[in-house]
Amino acid sequence: MQINVRQGDSFWYYSQLFQIPIQLIIDSNRQINPSKLAVGQSVQIPGFVSTRHQISSNETIWKIATQRSLNQDAIFLLNQTINPNQLQIGQLIQIPVRVTWRIINDNEAYDYQQLIEDVRELASLYPFIITQVIGNSIMGKDIYELRIGNGRKSVHVNSSFHANEWITTPIILRFLNDYLLGLTNNGAISNIALNPLYQSTLLSMVPMVNPDGVNLVIQGPPQEEPYQSDVINMNNGSLDFSNWKANIRGVDLNNQYPAKWEIEKERKTDTPGPRDYPGPNPLSEPEAQAIADLTRASDFRRVNAFHTQGQVIYWGFENLEPPESEVIVNEYANVSGYQPIKTVDSYAGYKDWFIQEWNRPGYTIELGLGTNPLPLTQFDQIYRSARGILLANLYM
């Protein structure tokens, strides 16, 4: 919600007026010097929208504010040209409304277009989020990173490396949505206050690593050539892409990292297809390269890659993980009910590479049980487990 500065206004006053932590207002207006507000300047108030209200008989600003649990000056801020003593029946005014509802929809398959719409709406409602494009898919789709928080500790989560594991995207975005609602409503998750976490931790999130693949699984073959013909050929002529894990070029993006990639190259399929092909060389695919570039440019203390399925958490690689990795995974297990597994006969994954290169904690989290793509009927159950892990990622 946008307001215009009046004489004598300050970010501190807006914080008190709207009951929003002042840091969220400051971070929503990074281009503004808080000590040099100018009359008429536009300021963003996070977690609020404005709506039109038609004046009825005997209504006053005070009555409207009381009914909506608002300070009447919050209404005056949005209606600086009205005379509160001369309201007319039928007159339209703007009313600030605190956002208390979720944006993320868990009722239908979650494709790339839904992601774009939700990222834009979340960024509009909560402008303290930093959004950036970290790269592009084979077909040119933007790969988004969202950042939230001010802490020196930086943690990263991602999802939908694998196309038919697309349910991981709305899962982690649901957590982000709940986190944002808690921050702007002075709330908590699992009785843990959220505003201190915002100050202590910077959360980096890439919700859809493989947008071309996700759309292929949900929508079927693209219209564009040669992609349409290529994926149908790789899928043995079938138009059922529910088993497709790879990107649009038939490369498994989580077999792309230079962490004993040669072993995967030798024992996995040597041709592009729905799953398991590690590519012609490490980081050959732009989606995998985008995540690698982001990781190199950041100082992540820890990474979480969300996949499905198995209800397990993989946390080791070649004994290169630090001692704190086990402490953290035990907390993940405690809050989720998932089983920690240190090692598995698999290489070249993102968390493998992160542990190898930085000797810091990295985790692959396999959400839910069943056959991919997991049905949305499991969403709430999966989310409860994932929420505990994502929250622990902030406080540990």
H or E element, residue 193: strand 192-193
H or E element, residue 202: strand 201-206
Q: What one-character DSSP code corresponds to residue 323?
A: T
Q: Is the dihedral of CA 134, 375, 328, 322 positive or negative?
A: negative
CA proximity to 43, closest of 21, 71, 10: 10
Residue 321 annotated as catalytic: no
Give helix then strand counts, H and E, for the chain. Answer: 14, 14
Token match 């994954």: residue? Answer: 349
- Is the CB of residue 222 less than 8 Å from the CB of residue 248? yes
H or E element, residue 186: none
Q: Is 329 exposed, middle or buried (0-12, 13-18, 19+ CB in 10 A)?
A: buried
Please tell me the distance from the alpha carbon of residue 138 to that of residue 145, in angstroms, as a whole number.
Answer: 17
Residue 366 annotated as catalytic: yes
| 3-class state of residue 136 by DSSP | strand
AA letter at 138: I
Cβ-count burial 242-280 (b if 16+ within 10 Å, e if not)? eebbbbbbbbbbbbbbbbbbeebbeeeeeebbbbebbbe
Q: What backbone torsions phi and psi does residue 307 show, to the nearest 5 degrees?
A: -130, 180
CA proximity to 117, closest of 220, 208, 212: 208
Return the bridge partners of 135, or none: 143
Please tell me the distance from the alpha carbon of residue 150 to that of residue 127, in angstroms, as a whole number.
Answer: 14
Q: What backbone torsions phi and psi does residue 189 show, to the nearest 5 degrees?
A: -125, 125
Catalytic residue among 347, 350, 363, 383: 347
Catalytic residue among 14, 321, 366, 383: 366
Catalytic residues: 347, 366
